[in-house]
Structure 1
Amino acid sequence: MLHFIKQLASSAGQLAQQLRNDIGGSGLQTSSKANDKDLVTLADRQVEDFVIAEISRRYPEHGILAEESGLASSASPYLWVIDPIDGTASYIHEQPGYCVSIALRQQDRTQYAAVCAPVFNQLYHASLGGGAYCNDKPIRVIDHGDLSQSQVATGFSCLRAGWDKINNLQYFCALARQAREVRRYGSAALDLCWLAAGKIDAFWELNLQEYDVAAGSLIVTEAGGEICDLQGGNDYPRQGMLACNGAAMQKTMLEYFKEYKRPQN
């Protein structure tokens, strides 16, 4: 199974990159916003269709949750969770920060995960109890010190969700004053992988979906990181998500989210 999910993510990442190259940057830059979205949707669906076809061919009884297709449930305890292109804005504008994210759950617990970032030539993977890897080399979170010495990352999907009474800007402004750097790379799955590899120290976001974080979450925890919701519980990503390089950073970061309460949709 581990070999299959790694190969599947790698092949899907190569397909996404090839489609990106075939579309061409100049056309995207001069086309309308609506056309930009149509092109990305086409690439999303082609990558997603490829992944689903490969899974269905080998494991026809398994359930599948994918960003574009939604949930195709089954009686099987196994569920594949797929984000065909995480980081669509980067994908549109020919920036490198996008990836393919695939996870396999058994009875609501993620067993295997793979994330392919084709432009960076990075394939992350993890298995429950088996550690986390990048290009088959073990990775671990790194403690760079307290928050003032740390680089943290976030995203702003909450703004696209239309939240007008609470959004990530207030947390961003507060943490920007305290952290060494606050970065916004544009892909939650990739943020989580980079945390696992010691490239950043923490990541938080407010309005994520299961397919955004299913693979990256396992990679983080297998690399020694800590994950919780923004109130310190386990209801993530529904109640927001905080991933850190360890318990000390988690405790520090949670202080900034004491007043957090997710808007009721």
Structure 2
Amino acid sequence: MESDLALALRVAKVAARMIGDVMDDPPPPDWKGEVNPVTEIDRRTESAVMDLIGSARPHDGLLGEESGGVDWGDGRVWIIDPLDGTVNFVHRLPQVSVSIALWENGEPRVGVVHDVARDEVFSAVSGEGAYLDGERLDLSTRQAVLGDALVGTGFPYDRQKRAQEYSTMFGRVMSGVGGMRRLGSSALDFCWVAAGRLDAYYEPSIEPWDGAAGVIVVEEAGGVVTDMTGNPYRLGEGPIAAHPAIHAELVELITG
């Protein structure tokens, strides 16, 4: 039988191809909220992914951004973000990804993130390491210092109500690190921490499908993922994902 990792890789490739075919001419968006777009490609891609996984693993649960599904903490559940970075996609900004993860009883087992524009594939299996296109990712071979760190972040969809809070937090972090980036795909932000392209990534609030694959990629690469106060991470909370050398200091900086 096809392994869980092989299934995730195969399905993510199908989804990435569907998105890539229309990257230069994306369909107009609908809106799930004032600042949260969704397109027909989001829906079509998720439907295709769920059909493929459902056929291969008929007894597993499914949870997707657009169609919902089962509780992610109950048994074997595939957690799917069919197009992470829809705002970028709508604006033809090539920073979008497909995120597919398998969690079992509330613990990550497999994660795959396919970068559509670069055709890079990040993957991880619990206890077996993290990889980029088959090459092992290992943060222990890299150094990090908070004052020189390049840190990614994001702005949640409730930012209009909490703009001052987020701005204050951003200012604290900006004053203590080397540089800041807001790239627009949470799944890729996690993976770029694992690859050493970013030294850390934080965001005050994300959805379960935003981090389900990225969390295991970071952890299997030797990074640390916690909630915004440094406690163990649960899907759906705001994450701090970082090189282990700077994680504790970054938590202190963020929490003030």
For normalisation by structure 1, the TM-score amounts to 0.86
* Counterpart in the other structure of 1:263: none
C-alpha deviation, 1:96, in angstroms: 1.2
C-alpha deviation, 1:255, in angstroms: 0.9
- The 5 A counterparts of 1:101-250 are 101-141=99-139, 143-160=142-159, 162-163=161-162, 166-167=165-166, 169-246=167-244, 248-250=245-247
Describe the shift of the 1:103–1:180 C-alpha distance in structure 2 as closer, same or farther (beyond 3 A). Answer: same
2:207–2:237 Cα contact (<8 Å) kept: no
* Counterpart in the other structure of 2:5: 2
Describe the shift of the 1:33–1:188 C-alpha distance in structure 2 as closer, same or farther (beyond 3 A). Answer: closer
C-alpha deviation, 1:160, in angstroms: 4.2
> What SS class does the counterpart of residue 10 from structure 2 fall into?
helix
* Counterpart in the other structure of 2:249: 252
Aligned partners of 2:20 and 2:44: how far apart in 1?
A: 12
Aligned partners of 2:50 and 2:159: how far apart in 1?
A: 27
C-alpha deviation, 1:202, in angstroms: 0.5
Aligned partners of 2:71 and 2:180: how far apart in 1?
A: 38
1:144–1:150 Cα contact (<8 Å) kept: no
Deviation per CA, 1:218-242, whole angstroms, max 9, x where unpaired? 0000000001011110144544210
* Counterpart in the other structure of 1:20: 23
Describe the shift of the 1:139–1:32 C-alpha distance in structure 2 as closer, same or farther (beyond 3 A). Answer: closer
Match of 1:16, as an amino acid? I
Deviation per CA, 1:137-173, whole angstroms, max 9, x where unpaired? 1112364432121101000015447335632x21211
Match of 1:146, as an amino acid? V
Aligned partners of 1:104 and 1:237: how far apart in 2?
A: 13
Describe the shift of the 1:229–1:99 C-alpha distance in structure 2 as closer, same or farther (beyond 3 A). Answer: same
Q: 2:69 aligns with which of 65, 71, 86?
A: 71
2:31–2:37 Cα contact (<8 Å) kept: no
Match of 1:14, as an amino acid? R
2:15–2:98 Cα contact (<8 Å) kept: yes
Deviation per CA, 1:7-30, whole angstroms, max 9, x where unpaired? 111111111111334xx16x86xx
* Identical columns (%): 30
Aligned partners of 1:102 and 1:251: how far apart in 2?
A: 29
Gapped regions of structure 1 (runs ≥ 5): 260-265
C-alpha deviation, 1:72, in angstroms: 3.8
Gapped regions of structure 2 (runs ≥ 5): none
Aligned partners of 1:3 and 1:77: how far apart in 2?
A: 20
Aligned partners of 2:110 and 2:104: how far apart in 1?
A: 9
Query: Matched residue pairs, number?
Result: 250
Aligned partners of 2:53 and 2:165: how far apart in 1?
A: 39
> What SS class does the counterpart of residue 92 from structure 2 fall into?
coil
> What SS class does the counterpart of residue 115 from structure 1 fall into?
strand
1:78–1:107 Cα contact (<8 Å) kept: yes
Stretch of structure 1 that moved more, 150-159 or 183-192: 150-159
Aligned partners of 1:103 and 1:171: how far apart in 2?
A: 30
Aligned partners of 2:121 and 2:254: how far apart in 1?
A: 32
Aligned partners of 1:187 and 1:69: how far apart in 2?
A: 20
> What SS class does the counterpart of residue 152 from structure 2 fall into?
strand
